[in-house]
Amino acid sequence: MIVANWKANGDIKKNYLWCETFQNLLDKSSFNYVGISPSHIHFHQLNTFFKETNVMIGMQDIYIEGGAITGSISAEMASADGCSFCLVGHSERREIFNEDGNLISKKISSLLKNNIKPILCIGESFEEHKAGNTRDKLKSQIIESIPKSYVLNELIIAYEPIWAIGSGRTPEAEEVNSIHEFIKDVVQSATANNIVPKVLYGGSVNDINASDFFDEDSIDGALVGGASLDANIFANIVNIYKRLKKI
Annotation marks residue 90 as catalytic: yes
Q: Could you write out the three-class secondary structure of the chain? A: CEEEECCCCCCHHHHHHHHHHHHHHCCHHHHHHEEEECCHHHHHHHHHHCCCCCCEECECCCECCCCCCCCCCEHHHHHHCCCCEEEECCHHHHHHCCCCHHHHHHHHHHHHHCCCEEEEEECCCHHHHHCCCHHHHHHHHHHHHCCCCCCCCCCEEEECCHHHCCCCCCCCHHHHHHHHHHHHHHHHHHCCCCCCCEEEEECCCCCCCHHHHHCCCCCCCEEECHHHHCHHHHHHHHHHHHHHHCC
Which residue in 40, 42, 90, 180 is the catalytic one? 90
Active-site position among 92, 99, 124, 160: 160
- Catalytic residue at 128? no
Q: How far apart are CA 180 and CA 201, in angstroms?
A: 8
- Residue positions annotated with a catalytic role: 90, 160
